[in-house]
Amino acid sequence: MTTTDFDTLKPAALLPHKAPMLLVDRVLHTDFKDSITTETVIREDLVFLKGHFPDYPLLPGVCILEAMFQASGILTRVASLDEAAPQERKRIGKAVKVKSAVFYKEVLPGSRLVITSERINNILNFSEYKVIATVNGETVCKAEITLSIGI
């Protein structure tokens, strides 16, 4: 794959998640190896917003973290598309660790959440990432996360 192919990458085809747990709408950019940028539009009808402060709906922080894990999972998947044997392409990344997470701002309905994930280390079946979530160019969350890559 080349860096011009990212327009055709579909999160629903690259992740096992389905609505309402699929929290990545599209891939904005990737180098197909160590970094990816994704986006999600936070729709007012998301099930997470209905009971999370009903009079002041905001996206739960755990949903932001899950979107970070999903963006990193997509990176793991696209990085293996060309180099892995067919059985390896089906491997699923699972959240195993949040080393640090800091929330700076609230994410409200109508926001465009942009997540940039950078792979910083691979050890055996584990991949570590530094991830930043932004809205309108302002950081809303930073985290260091680890995925386990298994079948």
Which residues are known catalytic residues?
52
Max CA distance (Å), the chain: 50
92-103 and 112-123 strand pairing: unpaired
A 10 A CB-CB count for 32 gives: 19
How far apart CA 133 and CA 72 sit, in angstroms, is 12
